[in-house]
Amino acid sequence: MFGMSYTEFNNNYTEIPYYQEMPAHVPVQDPGVERPVRRKKKKKHLFLKFILILLLVIILIAGGLFLYLLHLVSKMNVGNKDGHTVVYISDDYPIQEVEQKDPEVRNILIFGVDARGPEDYADCRSDAMIIMTIDKRNHVIKLTSLMRDTGVDIYGNGHLDKLTHAYRYGGVGLLMDTINRNFDMDIDEFFMFDFQSAANLVDIAGGVTINVDPSEVSYANNSINEQNAVYGSSAPLISEGGEQTLSGVQAISWARIRKLDSDFVRTSRQRTLITALITKVNEMNVFKKFSFFQDSVGCFETNIESMDMIWLAISVIMNSGSDEGMGDYRVPEDGLYRVQDNPWMMIVDMEEQRARLHDYIWG
């Protein structure tokens, strides 16, 4: 600009602002406008607080449930509180621990004995025999009836005898060993009932709903009269057929009917009774369920520990409420046996029966 006249300099002059121009990506704050408060960090802190509080509530609930379970276990009377028949465990045939074939499938033997009193514990046979399968993978409970007159090899010597005799010969150890060896099963846990303890269990649940056929009424009542005389009970007779709530003595008497039809139908009644009992317990609220479990312990014989029984009961409830619900099966299956007259016994095609039983339980 040297050499310019004053007029030329003045004409080319441009006023420069007093502040430096900011980069385009940094907005200039108008001093007349209030700057907004940034809330992102505050929202993040609130969300983290919510998650922590939720986790704390879950931990407290889980801890409370665990303490309640411990409380139930501590109150459980695992002794014989109703005078039922104790389980027969022979020194010669102890219970053998077996490896579980599938960790998601648990098999437990439920059986009754035909004892007439507690003193008959070593002089009775197994009556109803049912394998209860808890299938956690498919969320289903499966019940498999084992016919008492099924011909099996009890001692492993090739000689056939009735399955019901295994308990009489060597107690629960020999019974489970016979089932495992003949049918290639993995059972080392059991629940055992006599008539009185099974009836007490039904009564603790408040009875069960059974559809009684009119033709069954008189036969069930004969059994009720017999049991009233043996145990000194005063259970009322069944007045008519149809769907109704049966007491313990009534329900067990109905399930034990033998002379009306056949042992095949009889085992079907037994499975129906167990299904009805599980259904009844399923309908209870959580507190009534735990109360039922607590009151029922001591009404049967088992080798399952108290705490494990609670988790087992929870597992049964959780896995019996699926769309599949509960299934049932019978051994021997129709078409897989022939009848031997003397002694009367069902001679089973064991190879085919094992395959079909395994397909039902693990398939």
Distance of CA 170 to the CA centre of its chain: 28
**What residue ranges define each of the domains in the chain, with the CATH number in brackets?**
76-213+260-362 (3.40.630.190)
Tens of pLDDT, residues 245-288? 999 999 999 998 887 877 778 888 888 998 899 889 888 887 78
> What pLDDT sits at residue 18?
47
Nearest Cα to Cα of residue 273 among 216, 318, 218: 216
Most confident of 80-89, 180-189, 335-344: 180-189
Nearest Cα to Cα of residue 93 among 113, 119, 122: 122
Distance between CA atoms of 28 and 17, rounded to whole angstroms?
Answer: 14
How sure is the predictor about 153, in pLDDT bands with cuts at 50, 70 and 90?
Answer: very high
Locus of tokens 């059986």: 111
pTM listed for this prediction:
0.74
